[in-house]
């Protein structure tokens, strides 16, 4: 299993150039190379607590925990971040490692297919290292069990032989910090979730916070923008910094080709309209979901499998990507009988609330 490593924080004899070169690498245990989009994400990623915007409650608690751990000379307690994608979970793992001045190992749940993968990764961790596991809920139960003793006692236990010849071998590990990230905390097993000392829910960003994110990213990318232009991108970014940075790059391209290169409100609005992102941040798939539920299923209730089949999309994609933002806006609700459109959602879908009917007898509750 190929791995690429990055030492965060740098060493005195390497200087800033080595530190910047290290940041330019993307460490993926699965061995995949970083594409241009990944490099852009790394370029815009905050490097420390001072550069990070948003998640005020999480940041306050995390700063205290990290500072206390540094003062004691110990690894920070294990941390679990959960919430919708794009809200900064991976970025915070990088920042923790940098603030602790230790190495970061980055992997993901699907990449750790066998117990040997987990054992090999744990046994090679340096003292104080941060092990970041993205999509940690996708670890298999056989692999997950090796984390229990590793997180609590810094050792790995495994059984060799069989029957009367079976015996348990225990290997000590260096103290380390596990940082887990998941978009579906409910799928984590209780034994694993209980071993995290700090559990944080990542909240959607406000328009003001996202405006600060856009202005910071525009400065890094060398894009000339004003407050209204940044605010227009922020308003359509679904409360998500990752989306804000992605939209900023698309608006930058539009401004360079169709305008004079300067990003103002009119340029941002024209670019995002062309991309299919409306004034509330809904994209084509969001609107297709909403109009399907409002028109074809007369407002619901409708099961997620039925909606997914109608829009030709995977149910998990709708649950993880589309529905959280529609729920945040109050455009849909989840009920025991299925999904329903709210009056606000029906208006946005172009269906007067009075025309919504009861589709419970239409066989949609899948």
Q: Give catalytic residue positions.
A: 89-90, 134, 183, 242
**54, 8 in Cβ contact below 8 A?**
no
H or E stretch at 169:
strand 167-172
Cβ contacts of 362 within 8 Å, gap of 6 or more? 297, 298
- Tell me the C-alpha to C-alpha distance, in Å, between residue 299 and each of 14, 186, 278, 290, 317: 61, 27, 21, 9, 21
Edge to edge, the sheet with strand 177-182 lists 6-7, 103-108, 130-134, 177-182, 79-82, 198-201
CA distance 308 to 365: 12
Please report which residue ranges of 186-342 form alpha helices under DSSP H. 190-193, 207-221, 227-235, 241-258, 265-274, 284-291, 304-311, 315-317, 323-329
CA distance 65 to 81: 15
Length of the chain: 366
**233, 214 in Cβ contact below 8 A?**
yes
Cβ contacts of 315 within 8 Å, gap of 6 or more? 304, 305, 307, 308
State the virtual CA torsion across 255, 241, 86, 53 in degrees, nearest 10: 150
CA distance 84 to 321: 8
- The one-character DSSP state at 214 is H
């Amino acid at each position: 299993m190929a791995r690429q490593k990055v030492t965060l924080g740098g060493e005195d004899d390497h200087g800033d150039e080595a530190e910047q070169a290290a940041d330019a690498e993307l460490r993926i245990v699965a061995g995949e190379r970083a594409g241009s989009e990944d490099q852009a994400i790394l370029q815009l990623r905050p490097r420390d607590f001072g550069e990070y915007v948003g998640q005020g409650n999480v940041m306050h608690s995390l700063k205290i925990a990290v500072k206390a751990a540094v003062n004691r000379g110990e690894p920070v307690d294990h941390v679990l971040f959960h919430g919708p994608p794009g809200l900064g979970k991976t970025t915070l793992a990088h920042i923790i490692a940098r603030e602790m001045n230790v190495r970061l190992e980055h992997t993901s749940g699907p990449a750790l297919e066998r117990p040997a993968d987990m054992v090999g990764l744990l046994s090679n961790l340096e003292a104080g290292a941060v092990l970041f596991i993205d999509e940690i809920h996708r670890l298999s139960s056989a692999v997950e069990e090796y984390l229990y003793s590793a997180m609590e006692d810094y050792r790995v236990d495994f059984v060799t032989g069989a029957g009367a010849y079976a015996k348990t071998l225990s290997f000590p590990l260096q103290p380390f910090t596990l940082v887990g990230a998941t978009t579906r905390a409910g799928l984590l097993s209780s034994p694993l979730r209980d071993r995290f000392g700090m559990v944080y829910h990542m909240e959607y960003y406000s328009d003001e916070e996202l405006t600060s994110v856009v202005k910071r990213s525009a400065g890094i990318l060398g894009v000339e923008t004003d407050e209204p232009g940044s605010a227009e991108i922020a308003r359509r970014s679904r409360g998500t910094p990752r989306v804000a940075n992605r939209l900023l790059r698309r608006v930058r391209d539009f401004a360079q080709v169709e305008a004079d290169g300067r990003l103002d409100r009119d340029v941002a609005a024209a670019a995002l309209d062309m991309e299919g992102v409306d004034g509330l941040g809904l994209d084509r798939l969001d609107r297709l979901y909403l109009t399907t539920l409002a028109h074809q299923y007369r407002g619901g209730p409708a099961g997620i499998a039925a909606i997914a089949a109608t829009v030709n999309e995977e149910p998990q994609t709708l649950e993880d990507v589309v529905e959280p933002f529609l729920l945040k806006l109050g455009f849909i609700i989840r009920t025991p009988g299925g999904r329903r459109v709210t009056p606000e959602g029906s208006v946005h879908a172009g269906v007067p609330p009075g025309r919504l009917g009861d589709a419970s007898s239409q066989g949609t509750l899948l």
